[in-house]
Structure 1
Amino acid sequence: MRASRLLSVLLLLQNRGRMTADELAAELEVSVRTVYRDIEALSAAGVPVYADRGRSGGYQLVDGYRTRLTGLTEEEARSLSLAGLPEAASELGLGTVLAAAQLKLYAALPADLRDRAATVSQRFYLDVPGWHRGIESLPQLAEVAEAVWQPRRLRLDYRRWGNQQVTREVEPLGLILKAGNWYLAARCDGNDRTYRISRIERLETLDAFTRPADFDLARYWQEWSEQFERRMYPRTAVVRLSPLAQALVPFYAGAVGARALRTATEPDEDGWIRMELPVEQGRPAIGELLRFGPGLQVLEPASLRDELAEAIREMGALYG
């Protein structure tokens, strides 16, 4: 463990130049006293590190010194695909591993490329979850991820929609992070299925299995998502939308609404358009449509118009 930390100290000084003991301690999550001992150990090993005294001082390497001890461990190599998702890497138990891998990569780059990479990281940031929600914090996620890596079968006690409890033995094939929610793609009884990680009540790691060579996680998720949307939005409403409501479609109706918006008619003289909008079944559809207020008018089907009108009457009675 200490050898790894000493290498991290060396690479930090190589990549960033002068750093104070407090900065090194914060980066490595150790005490300042530990940093002092690590610097002494590096000096004793022949690494040309020296200290500048004073308020603006710190530790740095002699100009021109570079180490080539930058080989990636297996875990670090795994973590690089999550380089733009630090929260996700942390949830998978790879947070510190990812930081070490990035540090080694920067150290291996020539100075000019290292400066460009640092500039990109300072000016662009990827924030995946939507507003008002973060990435799910799931204590069992790291264990599921390990089973995906190995790969090893899992026995799951799973809570299905409607709170029905089931037990399944699955072959975990991949993890997906969608809008802050984690999902497991797994094979169960010969069929590929999707399980939301937050609905796993208990899990047990079982024996190893042979991962199917033809399984493509990205293709599977795309196909599953399309099927899920068709199940989630079984009805289509013909609606009229005001200019303001049109601007709100991507926020209120998501990607499904945004795609429908691209097939809308040309605006009339008042700027209203007509389009076919996929909607859910029952009360959820009413709630989604009412969000648009007077900027949306349902034309068809008649049954949905009646449901919406009844909801508006009830609201009117409530407010007098």
Structure 2
Amino acid sequence: MRASRLVSILLLLQTRGRMTARELAGRLEVSVRTIYRDVESLHAAGIPLYGDAGPQGGYQLLDGYRTRLTGLTADEAESLFLAGLPGPAAELGLGAVVTAAQLKLMAALPVELRDRAGRIQERFLLDAPTWYREREPLTYLPAVADAVWNERRVQVRYRRWKAPQEVERRLDPYGLVIKAGRWYLVARAGEDVRTYRVSQILDLQPLAEGFTRPEGFDLAAYWQGYLAEFEAKLRWGEAVVRLSPRGLERLADLMTPGVVAAARQTARPPDDEGWTQVTVPIESIEHAMGEFLRLGVDAEVLAPGELRDRLAGAAKVLAERYGSA
């Protein structure tokens, strides 16, 4: 554990430059006193590390000193080759760059780690997009990524779901997120930070003016909040449903994670027929009809009454249609 921490200190100073003992302690989740002892050990080992006192002080490696990747464990080396997704990298125009980086990393690894990392690529493939969906057109993804990286404003023509469908927006692009094979741009428009689907960008013009990214903006935290808010908006109401054992089993394959979680939390003990009653969120009557029809005879909606009546009407039409056939 301590040897790994010493390597981590070297890598942090190599990549970030000067850091205080308190900053190092926060990153490595140890006490400041532990950092002092570690630094003394690095000095004793001959590492060209020096520190300056005062408000602007901190520890820093001697200019030009670089450590080698000998601190990688087998698990760490393997995880690096699992982390790169070839599909998204290619969409960003970085496919060749990722391949070159992996080749350089492979060459720098000791022989025993090189063999294990190579086996990862032979045995595991990460395919991010979901099933039954064609790849979206991503004409402007490289330009969006360039604007995000270089903090440049862009003017876009964007297609949205509500009227007017085509709108013009001047955006400060903060970050890109890939979710289930779809790319989303997180950007400021006016006073609001919003999310835009990259495939819905109809035209994009890079602007000469830059912008200042807000200090402390956390892309991952924003995205989690956005997902929670999006899911909450979808919940129009609730439905009480009886599910057969087979229907309960199929729920995870046919419904969203929120519906599945709600079903598990509200499930009553099975009745005499083995059916389970659950209460789940629904987006709308129309949307819920399509969802529960997918379960066929393995589901019975008890409430709301409007949804039950609509499903009964659909079942009657289907029975008449196939009965006549």
Residues 224-243 of structure 1 mapped to structure 2, 5 A cutoff: 224-243=226-245
- Work out the CA distance in 2 between the residues paired with 1:285 and 1:111: 56
Equivalent residue number for residue 119 of structure 1: 119
- Tell me how far 1:133 sits from its aligned partner: 2.3
- Work out the CA distance in 2 between the residues paired with 1:82 and 1:119: 11
Residues 186-201 of structure 1 mapped to structure 2, 5 A cutoff: 186-201=187-202
- Tell me how far 1:268 sits from its aligned partner: 2.9
**Which 10-residue stretch deviates more, 202-211 or 266-275?**
266-275
Equivalent residue number for residue 307 of structure 2: 304
Residues 1-320 of structure 1 mapped to structure 2, 5 A cutoff: 83-162=83-162, 164-206=165-207, 207-263=209-265, 264-319=267-322, 320=324
Indicate the SS of the match to 1:262. helix
Q: Which runs of 5+ in 1 are unaligned?
A: 1-67, 71-79
Give, as a single letter, the amino acid of the residue that structure 1 aligns with 2:147: A
- Tell me how far 1:83 sits from its aligned partner: 4.1
- Work out the CA distance in 2 between the residues paired with 1:282 and 1:201: 32
Indicate the SS of the match to 1:185. strand
Indicate the SS of the match to 2:103. helix
Give, as a single letter, the amino acid of the residue that structure 1 aligns with 2:84: G
- Work out the CA distance in 1 between the residues paired with 2:173 and 2:153: 6
**Which 10-residue stretch deviates more, 91-100 or 229-238?**
229-238
- Work out the CA distance in 1 between the residues paired with 2:82 and 2:203: 26
Any idea what the Cα deviations from partners look like across 1:1-38, whole Å, max 9, x if unmatched? xxxxxxxxxxxxxxxxxxxxxxxxxxxxxxxxxxxxxx
Q: Which runs of 5+ in 2 are unaligned?
A: 1-66, 70-79
- Work out the CA distance in 2 between the residues paired with 1:160 and 1:81: 37
The sequence identity of aligned pairs, in percent, is: 48
**1:136, 1:181 within 8 Å by CA — same for their partners in 2?**
yes
**1:134, 1:180 within 8 Å by CA — same for their partners in 2?**
no
- Tell me how far 1:81 sits from its aligned partner: 10
- Tell me how far 1:296 sits from its aligned partner: 0.6
- Work out the CA distance in 2 between the residues paired with 1:81 and 1:106: 9
Give, as a single letter, the amino acid of the residue that structure 1 aligns with 2:263: L
Equivalent residue number for residue 16 of structure 1: none
**1:82, 1:89 within 8 Å by CA — same for their partners in 2?**
no
- Work out the CA distance in 1 between the residues paired with 2:103 and 2:81: 15
**2:81, 2:102 within 8 Å by CA — same for their partners in 1?**
no
Any idea what the Cα deviations from partners look like across 1:146-168, whole Å, max 9, x if unmatched? 11111111111111104611111
Give, as a single letter, the amino acid of the residue that structure 1 aligns with 2:228: E
- Work out the CA distance in 2 between the residues paired with 1:182 and 1:210: 23
Indicate the SS of the match to 2:138. coil
- Work out the CA distance in 2 between the residues paired with 1:173 and 1:273: 46
Aligned residues: 244
TM-score, length-scaled by structure 2: 0.70
- Work out the CA distance in 2 between the residues paired with 1:134 and 1:120: 28
- Tell me how far 1:261 sits from its aligned partner: 2.8
- Work out the CA distance in 1 between the residues paired with 2:84 and 2:280: 34
Give, as a single letter, the amino acid of the residue that structure 1 aligns with 2:288: A
- Tell me how far 1:82 sits from its aligned partner: 8.9
Give, as a single letter, the amino acid of the residue that structure 2 aligns with 1:147: A
Cα separation, partners in 2 of 1:167 and 1:81, compared to 1, 3 Å: farther
Any idea what the Cα deviations from partners look like across 1:77-96, whole Å, max 9, x if unmatched? xxx89943100000001000
- Work out the CA distance in 1 between the residues paired with 2:182 and 2:82: 16
- Tell me how far 1:143 sits from its aligned partner: 0.6
Cα separation, partners in 2 of 1:275 and 1:69, compared to 1, 3 Å: closer
- Tell me how far 1:267 sits from its aligned partner: 2.5
Cα separation, partners in 2 of 1:222 and 1:251, compared to 1, 3 Å: same
- Tell me how far 1:105 sits from its aligned partner: 0.8
Indicate the SS of the match to 1:213. coil
TM-score, length-scaled by structure 1: 0.71
- Work out the CA distance in 1 between the residues paired with 2:237 and 2:81: 38
**2:240, 2:278 within 8 Å by CA — same for their partners in 1?**
yes
**2:236, 2:282 within 8 Å by CA — same for their partners in 1?**
yes
